[in-house]
Structure 1
Amino acid sequence: MLEHLITTIGNAYPSYQAVYAMIGSVMTVLFFYKKIYKIMGIFFTRKFKPAKHNHKYAILIPARNEEAVIANLLDSIHKQDYDMSLVTVFVVADNCTDRTAEIARKCGAICYERFDDEHRTKGYALQFLFERIEEDYGRMSFEGYFIFDADNLLKEDYISRMNDSFDAGCKLITSYRNSKNFSESWVASTYALHWLRSIRTNHRPRSVLRLATNIQGTGFLFTNEIVRDGWKYTSLTEDRALTADAVAQGFEITYNDKAVFYDEQPVSVKVALRQRLRWSRGHLEAFVETGPYLFLNIFFGKLLVKTKWKRETVSFKDKGPVKGTLLALLESIRHRAASFDTLVQLTPVSLINIVRWLLISFFIYGCACYVNGIDDLSWITTGSWLGKLLRNFINPLLQVDSGWQALGLGLLMAFWRRLFYRIADYLENCLTAVYLFIIEYKRMIRIPLRKKILYCLTWPTFDIIGRWTIYLAVFKKVSWKTIPHQSQVTIDDIRQETVQRKAV
């Protein structure tokens, strides 16, 4: 009976292979625009004129046991060239057992303390903070809200640059995420390069096209309209959920390339794995929660969308019947394109790929080998540039009669060919790091050449970890845990290094 089942499955392999190819072709077409993004990101980004008006802002800093770094962030805020009488700094000391609250108050911030061990995500801390702001100040008394992590540092013109975007009418703005501990370890370097890649391949092109880029946890500004009824995002990755809701409501999420802040990256593999697993679980939850209405958005606009808040109605009637109709049409197209783009970004492509590979290219292929045997199968796959190169020099072939041995070798060959493809992909991705080191050279901290070479070689591990953590996140329950921050780099240290580099 088992042999009959294997034979039946193996005979159907050509049909399944066609399905595999069809899925791959569809994904290639749907993701092709990303190649255009990469080219645009080299040359273009949205630019903003100096603001005519200074706006009133609140800065929100959720912090859990951040006594080692929070003073440095607050110091960089106080050194802004913006009119600081228009800026109020709030800290929520969330389940802290150290001196975070004491230091925050000593540095001039308004600090609320929260103790709730059951609800431990950053989103719950922000929800609590917005409730306190409503009680004591009124959420709508501030025109916009910045959110930062306690380990961040702000370049001295950061708020002024973001105000340029806000004054231009932008409602959600993210910024240039640099790294203050880029060279502390190879793990930190992979994160630092990831943020730079996001800037070049996502933020810059989307800002030019007036689409919606993605919020990434910290270093962003949003209008008070979003929190009119409070903060609604308490999942493991509140930033993804906010992004999806904003896109569904028709908001453009733009990017300001001149607004620079510095972020501390994890330095150990253990901490990185813990954080990436949380990101992956949050990614899946955001896709399940927001994917369906983003899909509906593409075809029906906001007609069927139910999000956690509603945007104020945007009308073009005052532009006249012809111009107003044209602007409304263009806005509808922009909105649907942004919904498609965000849905593509949220889609767990690595899960789709591993499932179709395991099912068709591994299991069903092995059954086909059982039925048909293996006839002159090359050990070196041509599915990558590395395979095509090596075949010019060596091309060992495998030939086995049908049966159990063919099934076993077929499975082994499927695994080997996949591994070979990944090796080629790894080497190719090293070039991405080379590209980023070249194009972002002027904005990076100083890094020795030997470390740059090492970081180019280790950079692809970032995506490898991302794939495997998303596999694990399907089955593993994840809780929010503190990411330790210990870097003592200050904004003055970074400014001094910048001056020294320019002097060389």
Structure 2
Amino acid sequence: MVGRLRTLATVAWRTAESLALAVSAYQSAVTLAGYLKRKTAAAPAEPPPGWRPRFALVVCARDEERVVGRVVGDLLGQEYPSELRDVFVAAHNCTDRTAEIARASGAEVIDVHSAVPGKALAIRAALERIGDGYDFIGIFDADARAEPGLLRAIAGRGPGTDCLQVETVPIGDPEWTAEGYGFGRKARNLFWWQPREALGLGTTISGCGWFIRPELLREELPKVTTLTEDLELTARLALRGVPVTYVSDARVAVGEARDLRTSVRQRLRWVRGHLLVVARYWPALALRAARGDLRALDLAAYLLVPTRMLTRLGASMVALHALTRRAGALPMAIALPVTAAEWLVPGIIAVRERLLTLNRRGVELALRHGVLSLLWFPIGIWALATARVQAWDPTRRTPAEVSDGQRAPGR
């Protein structure tokens, strides 16, 4: 009996280690193949002749009087025909001058008051107001900055797309926490989303800078119930076979939390929502993936392992176990190459693309990001224990967050 239990334990352990290596190898392969393909990719497309979509641009704001005026200015200043774009600000449960400043800046304001928190309610109120006649609805956060060619780049993707997510980059902010997390956002774009764009895989809606067909949003948004409406909507679209197209040649700059307390509360909400999406949608996504949908497979893998930190930790532990040569350990010929790829592929790309500079400043920034990333583990544990808590705390802006140095990308 004891021998049988030991055999079962060994089989279970080797299965877990094999899965960890398989996910790590998959992510390394996607990163490398997508990066190499991007090097030979064609120039960004221009809009097809006669295709000029009309945009309703919705800014979701909650007590954002310090920053709402600048994003409205960015959207009204787009290098795109003014008659084909309208800007709306959904002022959700605001207690300051957000609505007044948005109107003065040229936006149409939609006052939203609700007892229940969540951006989805603000978007829903905007949908009810804007009416018909738009090809795309674009969703933005009030602290964002948009580059002037944003709408032109979206139009260049052609009339065959249903949902698009532009690349989000960090607003230039030298504050210790914000800059550390901003480095992580750049790394995620380089190692995760840009390769998937090149390979034709989907992305996830990322809260800000996404565009969707109005009829599609009207059908799906009422069914969204978590506070991570962007990820839940991504999962619902994937189950319909609708990919979220990544657009790396259009960028929106977003702010990062400037202190640990705000950052932890923000990420706690994200993780809680992520866990709820996994519980509700992962089985259906896995079933769709088993039927041959590669985009569903990629999203299902992301929902379970949403960061390379987890694949790196898993592969490294398997490699260390293999080096012990104990019974049940996987062969070093398998474990070591996968682990080496896990570390070397993003490392080499980071240096080649100048994300990581080989000097004191570059190393310090990478280490800072590593330290901040470790916070995901206690945050994840606490979120797991409180997964059903639905709390949304507004982020209070400081004068430093509206400085002239925080400009739109491309300006």
Question: Which band: TM-score by shorter chain?
Answer: 0.7 to 0.9
The amino acid across from 2:294 in the alignment is A
- Cα gap change, 1:107 to 1:433, in 2 (>3 Å): farther
> C-alpha displacement at 1:206, in angstroms?
2.0
Q: Is the Cα–Cα contact under 8 Å of residues 191 and 346 in structure 2 kept in the other structure?
A: no
Alignment of 1:389-468 (within 5 A): 436=350, 439=353, 451-468=361-378
**SS of residue in 1 equivalent to 2:375:** helix
Matched residue, 1:131: 128
- Alignment-mate amino acid for residue 482 of structure 1: P
2:113 corresponds to 1:122:
no
Q: Which residue of 2 aligns with 1:35?
A: 28
* 1:37 CA displacement: 1.6
**Deviation of residue 66 (structure 1)?**
0.3
Which residue is equivalent to 1:87? Answer: 85
Is this contact kept in 1: 2:202–2:295, CA < 8 A?
Answer: yes
Paired residue type of 2:300? L
Q: 2:145 — aligned with what?
A: 153
Aligned Cα RMSD in Å? 3.3
Distance in 2 (alpha carbons) for counterparts of 1:105 and 1:175: 26
Distance 1:67 1:448 in 2: 40
* 1:69-468 to 2 correspondences below 5 Å: 69-116=67-114, 118-133=115-130, 137-138=131-132, 141-165=133-157, 167=158, 169-185=160-176, 187-229=177-219, 231-232=221-222, 233-300=224-291, 333=292, 336-347=293-304, 383-384=319-320, 436=350, 439=353, 451-468=361-378
Distance across 2 between alignment mates of 1:280 and 1:437:
30
2:396 is equivalent to residue 488 of structure 1: no
CA separation in 1, counterparts of 2:67 and 2:352? 30
Judging changes above 3 Å, is the alpha-carbon distance between structure 1 residues 102 and 183 closer, same or farther for their aligned structure 2 residues?
A: same
Q: CA deviation at 1:468?
A: 2.3
Residues 228 and 274, structure 2, Cα contact 8 Å, conserved in 1 = yes
- Distance in 1 between residues matched to 2:55 and 2:204, nearest whole Å: 21
Residue aligning to 1:479: 391
1:469 and 2:383 aligned? no
Do 2:269 and 2:391's aligned partners in 1 also have CA atoms closer than 8 Å? yes
**Per-residue Cα deviation, 1:8-61 (whole angstroms, up to 9, x for no partner):** 989945532331221221342245221112113433446542003221011111
User: What residue identity is the alignment partner of 1:481?
Assistant: D
Letter in 1 for 2:19: V
Shift, 1:229, TM fit: 3.7
Residues 76, 491 of structure 1: 8 Å contact kept = no
The answer to whether the 8 A contact 1:176-1:199 is kept is: yes
Following the alignment from structure 1 to structure 2, what is the Cα–Cα distance between the partners of residues 22 and 122? 41
Rounded Cα–Cα distance in structure 2 between residues aligned with 1:216 and 1:60: 15
The change in CA–CA distance for 1:430 and 1:120 in structure 2 (over 3 A counts) is farther
TM-score w.r.t. the length of structure 2 is 0.82
State the structure with bigger RCO (CA 8 A, min sep 6), 1 or 2: 2
Q: CA deviation at 1:75?
A: 1.3
Q: Distance in 2 between matches of 1:433 and 1:467?
A: 22
Q: Provide the secondary structure at the position in 1 that maps to 2:221.
A: coil
Letter of the structure 1 residue corresponding to residue 156 of structure 2: D
C-alpha contact 1:183 1:189 (8 A) present in aligned 2:
yes
Q: What is the TM-score of this pair, normalised by structure 1?
A: 0.68
Q: Deviations over 1:259-295 (max 9, x none)?
A: 0111111111111111111111011000111112112
Deviation at residue 484 of structure 1 after TM alignment: 2.7
Counterpart residue type for residue 298 of structure 1: A
Q: Which segments of 5 or more consecutive residues in structure 1 lack a partner in the other structure? A: 1-7, 301-332, 358-380, 392-424, 500-504
Contact 2:92–2:112, Cα closer than 8 Å, also in 1: yes
Offset, 1:478: 4.3
How much does 1:159 deviate?
Answer: 1.1
Gaps spanning 5+ residues in structure 2: where?
A: 325-338
- Picking from 8, 15, 20, the partner of 1:15 is 8
What is the deviation of 1:164?
Answer: 0.7
Q: Deviation digits for residues 440-499 of structure 1, max 9, x if unmatched?
A: 55xx9xx9965433211111134322232222111123411112334114588467xx78
Aligned position for 2:62: 64
One-letter amino acid matched to 2:239: A
Q: Write the letter of the residue equivalent to 1:188.
A: A
Judged with a 3 Å threshold, the aligned counterparts in structure 2 of structure 1 residues 451 and 74 are, in CA distance, closer, same or farther, namely farther
Count how many residue pairs are aligned between Structure 1 and Structure 2: 378
Structure with greater Cα Rg: 1
Name the CA distance, whole Å, in 2 between partners of 1:9 and 1:58: 67
Q: What is the CA distance between 1:109 and its match in structure 2? A: 0.7
Secondary structure of the residue that 1:32 maps to in structure 2? helix
